[in-house]
Amino acid sequence: MAKASSTGVRPTIRMVAELAGVSTATVSYVLSGRRGDGGPGVSDPTAEKVKAAAERLGYRPNQAARAIRTGRTNTVILSLTMLSDPWSLSVIESVQKAAVPRGITPMILGDADWVKVLGAHNADAVFVDAVREEQRDALRKLAEHGTSLVVFDEVLEAEGFDVIRSIAGPGCRMAVEHLLHGHRRIACLTPATVAGTSGGTRYRAYSEALADAGIPEREDYVGLFDGTSAGAYAAATRLLSMPERPTALYATTDYAAVSAINAAQRLGLAVGKDVDIIGVGNTVEGERMSPSLSTVGPVDFFDKLARLLLRRATAQSSPDAAKDPGVLDFPWHLFVRESAPHRSAATRLY
Amino acid sequence: MAKASSTGVRPTIRMVAELAGVSTATVSYVLSGRRGDGGPGVSDPTAEKVKAAAERLGYRPNQAARAIRTGRTNTVILSLTMLSDPWSLSVIESVQKAAVPRGITPMILGDADWVKVLGAHNADAVFVDAVREEQRDALRKLAEHGTSLVVFDEVLEAEGFDVIRSIAGPGCRMAVEHLLHGHRRIACLTPATVAGTSGGTRYRAYSEALADAGIPEREDYVGLFDGTSAGAYAAATRLLSMPERPTALYATTDYAAVSAINAAQRLGLAVGKDVDIIGVGNTVEGERMSPSLSTVGPVDFFDKLARLLLRRATAQSSPDAAKDPGVLDFPWHLFVRESAPHRSAATRLY
DNA sequence: CTGTTAGCGCGTTCAT
DNA sequence: ATGAACGCGCTAACAG
């Protein structure tokens, strides 16, 4: 029960050394488990003494002090602007899965003004989720002065930092065209926050694909909702309850598509038969549900992102295979699953 | 456009000093904006020279090095287990609003194994949102050795750290009893993940209040859902479409209550008139919507939490009015708003 | 083979 | 406005 040392003071390596009756160097060797080059180098008895002393004092190595000497913090920072977005949660999850086993801690920065913070807190690598115009210069400066950056952006070029890119337009187009093979009455389910954001691209793909197919766009076939799942559910219910009910539904996000499937089933419609529903994003939930969700999106996006980030974080010290920063482009694919299967001439709904 | 120094090397205070032709001490004073005691102490011309040199090199002070000397990192850590929960987002938002103006950066730790991390990364203060049994000892040890902790927990006592407590039971009871003043047919809308979590308390309040009022609990009046808003919407729709429709609905979370209001309106029911709906949690959205949501919950919870955390972070250095750690108990209140107004004998629905 | 000494690398801060 | 010590953990070079 050895209590000792409830002094409210953070124990240092020197206190441990004193209590164990050895030098600080020995403590350092024992606790970090390494020694210069070859063999073990610390005898079992002393190692035990040191460990006991450290345990008794509640000693924890001081990352800040370690960082100053080694240049590594064993930390990656994720700067995420929309924490509530499932996309952000996927990023966090993937990075955590990749980082934690290697002893690296992901820290999340919820604020959008990463510019001030990142220069000061020296993480081994940083992921930035969105770059505003006026932040670009600061970004380049950071990269110039030793910060390892991975940036998610559709237009930036790699200038000392990695760029991850995932362009939605063509993929969304594929989704709508997939529906056009079997349908004419195609509705669109999209959040109302279309202004300027990526939502705009996704809705535009719908408009343009319909126009190119010679199908006039009906205003009452566009289901706007407030961005929540409940809102998507309500909007989908409205669309699917119309007298001239659409036979297919293009949802600009996967979670909206999921809500739409729920709504359709509640209305007694067989999804993939009476009505086809396709989403955008290729999130994991869609793959797991029943019926499985047809969707478009990048392949393996989050895992590859995590791997790149971790490689950057690790390559700091060992510049072995650390390639120069570059652009990593994720092409989108069409995933035809149960909620919107292939339609032959025989199964067309028009 | 003075570029200079794109060496990929992080500039140090010494490089700045050399370029400006002054000592490192002067640079430190200029950039941190303080000087020993009284007057400015640094002449304007040299201050300008220093700032120019720092700007040219892209110098950013190294937090780790600063921390080692001052013992302060200007950082608070938020250890949050359920990042997708709106509750976590509220915590983040409040803390950010309080911290950023004071130059303190909140970092979010998404992993549940804060034990290893917190000992190493010395933040000025740490908020922990859930403590498992086996983590309690580690918690005490951390607190003993200088980590400023604020813990959210319903049973822990303050042992060197602050405890924030917000007990749901009695408040939920008040919510159901409020409905009992005007109703007999009261349904309950609750996520299916009742096992052991706080959800259990909230459902139990419903069961017990009904039992005490001599009303038998009907199984078909309990709407279980999967935890999503869409699920809550669907479950509420089912409840409100029953032949013997309940006249009141007790939802164990505010977001479920919001979905229920949407569902009721969609079914053509006047909320607050044909059907009363009450939530749990006192979140801001409920107050802002129309009809405004009646609910129970703590008052001013997030802001007070943020203030306490920031006080702890700041008090590190100046031990002026830093009271001893204690338990901060948030009593719950009943907020009677439009979705479930007061019912007099005349407006009773039975 | 085991353990110690003596610096290093930062920004801060007290004397001078 | 400066020189030098300081606080921390790490580690090359050395001593037993």
pLDDT of B102 higher than 50: yes
Q: pLDDT at residue B151 above 90? A: yes
Highest-confidence segment of A64-73, B37-46, B82-91, B244-253? B244-253
Q: Tell me if A261 is assigned to some domain.
A: yes
Does residue A126 register a pLDDT over 70? yes
Q: Is the pLDDT of residue B5 over 50?
A: no
pLDDT of residue A95: 96
Number of Cβ within 10 Å of residue B178's Cβ equals 24
For residue B30, the enclosing domain spans: 4-61
Is a pLDDT exceeding 70 seen at residue A101? Answer: yes
Residue nearest to nucleotide D6 (CA to C1'): B69
**pLDDT band at residue B82 under the 50/70/90 scheme:** confident
Domain-embedded: residue A192: yes
pLDDT confidence tier of residue A322, bands split at 50, 70 and 90: low
Tokens representing B199 are 């959800």
> Cα separations (Å) of A135 from A113, A263, B69?
9, 42, 31
Mean pLDDT of A239-258: 96
Cβ atoms within 10 Å, residue B167: 16
Whether residue A223 sits in one domain with residue A144? no
Our measurement of CA A118 to C1' C4, in angstroms, reads: 39
Q: B332-335 and B294-298: which strand pairing?
A: antiparallel
- Are residues A196 and A237 both part of a single domain? yes
CA-based end-to-end distance of chain B: 79
The residue of chain A with its CA nearest to that of B265 is A234
Quote the pLDDT of residue B317: 53
Q: Smallest Cβ distance to B230: which of A57, A160, A259?
A: A259
Q: How confident is the model at residue A60 (pLDDT cuts 50, 70, 90)?
A: confident
Say whether pLDDT at B99 is over 80: yes
Q: Is the pLDDT of residue B304 over 90?
A: yes
Whether residue B147 is predicted with pLDDT greater than 70 in this model: the reply is yes
Residue B128 included in any domain: yes
Minimal Cβ distance to B63: which of A60, A86, A121: A121
Which uninterrupted H or E stretch holds B160?
Answer: none
DSSP track, A168-203:
-HHHHHHHHHHHHTT-S-EEEEEES--SSSHHHHHH
| Residue A245 distance to chain B (closest CA, Å) | 19
Mean pLDDT, residues A148-164 taken together: 93
**Between A85 and B248, where is the model more confident?**
B248
Mean pLDDT score across all residues of chain B: 88
Same domain, A143 and A247: no
> Residue range B145-157: average pLDDT?
91
CA distance B128 to B79: 5
By C-alpha to C1' distance, C9 is nearest to: A69
Judge whether residue A342 has pLDDT over 50: yes
B327 falls within a domain: yes
pLDDT (mean) for A75-82:
93
pLDDT at B301: 94
Which chain A positions have a beta carbon within 8 Å of B98's beta carbon?
none
Q: Is residue B66 part of a domain?
A: no
The pLDDT value given to residue B37: 43
Mean pLDDT within B160-188:
96
Q: How many Å apart are CA A145 and CA B62, to the nearest integer?
A: 12
- B223 close to B189: Cβ distance less than 8 angstroms: yes
List the beta bridge partners of residue B190: B224
The chain-wide mean pLDDT, for chain A, equals 88
pLDDT at B80: 95
pLDDT for the residue numbered A304: 95
Average pLDDT of the residues in A302-307: 95
| Range from A285-299, B112-126, B294-308 carrying the lowest mean pLDDT | B112-126
Query: pLDDT-derived band of residue B2, with 50, 70 and 90 as boundaries?
Result: very low
Which residues have C-beta within 8 Å of that of residue B202, sequence separation ≥ 6? B168, B172, B190, B252, B253, B280
Q: What is the rounded CA–CA span in Å between residue A54 and residue A52?
A: 5
By C1' distance from the Cα of B65, the closest nucleotide is C10
Protein-proximal positions, strand C, CB < 7 A: 1-15
Asked if pLDDT for residue B243 goes beyond 70, the answer is: yes
Check residues A195 and B106 and name the one with the higher pLDDT: B106
**Chain B (316-335) residues lying within 8 Å, Cβ to Cβ, of chain A:** none
Confidence of residue B189 (pLDDT cuts 50, 70, 90): very high
pLDDT, position B322? 60
Mean of pLDDT values over A233-240 = 94
Q: Are B338 and B272 in contact (CB under 8 A)?
A: yes
Residues A37 and A174 in one domain: no
Beta bridge partners of A333: A297
- The CATH number of the domain holding residue A38 is 1.10.260.40
Read off the pLDDT band of A75 (50, 70, 90): very high
Phi, psi for B320 (deg, rounded to 5)? -65, -90
- A229 closest CA partner among A269, A178, A183, A283: A283
Mean pLDDT of A44-67: 86
- Per the listing, tokens 């029943």 go with A290
Same domain, B291 and B303: no
Last residue of a domain, one of B35, B61, B87: B61
Question: Tokens at residue A1, please?
Answer: 């029960």
Query: Which of B13, B43, B61 represents a domain boundary (last residue)?
Result: B61
**With pLDDT > 70 as the criterion, what percentage of chain A qualifies?**
92
Residues A46 and A140 in one domain: no
B86 vs A contacts (CB less than 8 Å): 84
A253 contacts chain B (CB < 8 A): no
Residue range B18-29: average pLDDT? 89
Q: Over 80: is that where the pLDDT of A237 sits? A: yes
d(CA B164, CA B153): 6
Which residues have C-beta within 8 Å of that of residue A166, sequence separation ≥ 6?
A152, A154, A298, A301, A329, A330, A332
Phi, psi for residue B89 in degrees, rounded to 5: -65, -35
**Domain co-membership, B206 together with B317:** no
For the cut 80, the answer to whether the pLDDT of residue B6 exceeds it is no
CATH number at residue B104: 3.40.50.2300
Q: Tell whether the torsion through CA atoms of B312, B315, B316 and B320 is positive or negative.
A: negative
B312 inside domain: yes
Contact B234 A233 (CB under 8 A): yes
3-state SS assignment for residue B143: helix
Pairing of strands B75-79, B105-109: parallel
Interface contact B96-A111, CB threshold 8 A: yes
Pick from B87, B229, B239 the residue to mutate for testing the A interface (most A CBs within 10 Å): B229
Residue A66 domain-assigned?
Answer: no
pLDDT at B36: 46
Rounded to an integer, what distance in angstroms lies between the CA atom of residue B317 and that of residue B5? 36
Strand ranges in chain A using DSSP code E only, listed in sequence order? 75-79, 105-109, 125-128, 149-152, 162-165, 186-191, 222-225, 248-251, 276-280, 294-298, 327-329, 332-335
A160 and A306 both lie in a single domain: yes
Q: Which two tokens stand for residue A116?
A: 């001030």
Q: Is residue B98 part of a domain?
A: yes
At residue B198 the predicted structure's pLDDT band, cuts being 50, 70 and 90, is low
Whether the pLDDT of residue B90 is over 80: the answer is yes
pLDDT band at B70 (very low <50, low <70, confident <90, very high): confident
| Cα–Cα distance measured from residue B261 to residue B266, given in angstroms and rounded to the nearest whole number | 8
Neighbouring residues of A180: CB distance < 8 A, sequence distance ≥ 6: A186, A209, A210, A213, A215
Helix (H) / strand (E) element for B261: namely helix B254-266
Same domain as A278, residue A232: yes
Most confident among A99-103, A184-188, A233-237, B142-146 (mean pLDDT)? A184-188
Pair (B114, B219) in one structural domain:
no
Query: Scanning every residue of chain B, which has its alpha carbon at the shortest distance from the alpha carbon of A87?
Result: B84
Residue A261 and residue A229 share a domain: yes
Picking from B100, B107, B240 by the largest number of A CB atoms within 10 A of its own CB, the best residue to mutate is B107
Q: Is the pLDDT of residue A2 over 50?
A: no
Indicate the number of domains in chain A. 3
- Closest nucleotide (CA of B70 to C1')? C12
- The reply to whether B255 and B339 lie within a common domain is yes
Verify whether the Cβ–Cβ distance A68 to B62 is below 8 Å. yes
Å: A306 CA to D9 C1': 30
Torsion of CA A177, A179, A183, A189, to 10 degrees: -110
